[in-house]
Structure 1
Amino acid sequence: MVDKQKKIETGLLIAWAIALIATLGSLYFSEIRMYIPCELCWIQRIFMYPLAITLAIASVKKDSIQVIYTLPLSLIGMGFSAYHYMLEKIPALSTRAEACGIIPCNYEYINWFGFITIPFLALIAFSAISFIMIWILKVSKE
């Protein structure tokens, strides 16, 4: 029982760290590097920022019930990130993203190693948080 609770606490802490890093990273890109977020970036922020708060509370309270609230946010955010990344990388979809707002959704501020873009970073963060939340659900039911 103690080992199970320790695993859950560790999972919540790691998920919170991922959400915090993603939140601070998005603020770094927009406030320090002055990259203007596109419409889909704003939507992804809408799903990431609450995760940083709810997972912080869950980590402090050691409350695995928060998984019920955080998993839907991370899964929906993951869907938006995957779609945004496809708009950037798939030429057939790329032409649709040019009229996304002030900044086109297919514009790549960063493109490290030819595939790491801001939506890709968000996709990795949402995916990791989702995986951890599903793992916590599994461990807590055992």
Structure 2
Amino acid sequence: MDDPQPNPWLALLCAWLLALIATLSVLFVGEVMGQAPCNLCWFQRAFMFPLVPMLAVACFLSDGTVWRYALPVAALGWLVALYHNLLYFRVIPEAIKPCGMGPSCSGSDMMVLGSLPLPLLSLGVFSLIIVLLLIVRRRLSA
């Protein structure tokens, strides 16, 4: 019996939901709670926000080829998030500060559930989106 063509739609839907929840969450923190993002958070937003409409259209059209242009966007966001986390957790010397002048994401009010910093959550979401897009890619090439 022939296996049906693997459908990447569920992975696309999960990736879109992650991007949507992340986007709505940071908009809530910024606009409702009034917490201004630091410079590196702004860059991460610049890579997360376009993923929402990009992946929504791909879900609507069941277009698995979206991985070709969504994956580089997510990967660039992941790199910024990784750099931000290296600074946040002081792996990179403290002389380089993303939150030095102006708003800071290192305060206790920028923690989720009391212990998860926003930069770490951003890295996690970008990582999950990348994994899901790689699953889409693999299912299309199967």
Are the counterparts in 2 of residues 88 and 108 from structure 1 also a CA contact under 8 Å?
no
- The answer to whether structure 1 residue 52 and structure 2 residue 56 are counterparts is no
Matches within 5 A, 1:1-142: 2=4, 4-5=6-7, 8-90=8-90, 92-97=92-97, 100-104=100-104, 106-107=106-107, 109-112=109-112, 116-142=116-142
Partner letter of residue 71 of structure 2? L
Q: Which one has the bigger helix percentage? A: 1
Shift of residue 82 of structure 1? 1.2
Counterpart CA distance in 2 for 1:111 and 1:55 is 27
Q: TM-score, normalised by structure 2?
A: 0.88
Runs of 4+ in 1 over 6 A off after TM superposition: none
Structure 1, unpaired ranges of 5+:
none
Corresponding residue pairs, total: 140
Question: How far is the alpha carbon of 1:95 from its aligned partner?
Answer: 3.8
> Structure 1's 53 and 98: CA in aligned 2 closer, same or farther, altered over 3 A?
closer
Which region of structure 1 is more displaced relative to structure 2, 107-116 or 61-70? 107-116
* Matched letter for residue 133 of structure 1: L
Alpha-carbon separation, structure 1, partners of 2:27 and 2:59: 22
CA deviation after TM superposition for structure 1 residue 89, in Å: 1.2
Q: Alpha carbons of 1:112 and 1:54: their partners in 2 closer, same or farther (altered >3 Å)?
A: closer
- Cα drift, residue 116 of structure 1: 1.4
User: Structure with the greater relative contact order (CA < 8 A, sep ≥ 6): 1 or 2?
Assistant: 2
Structure 2 unaligned blocks of 5 or more: none
Q: TM-score, normalised by structure 1?
A: 0.88
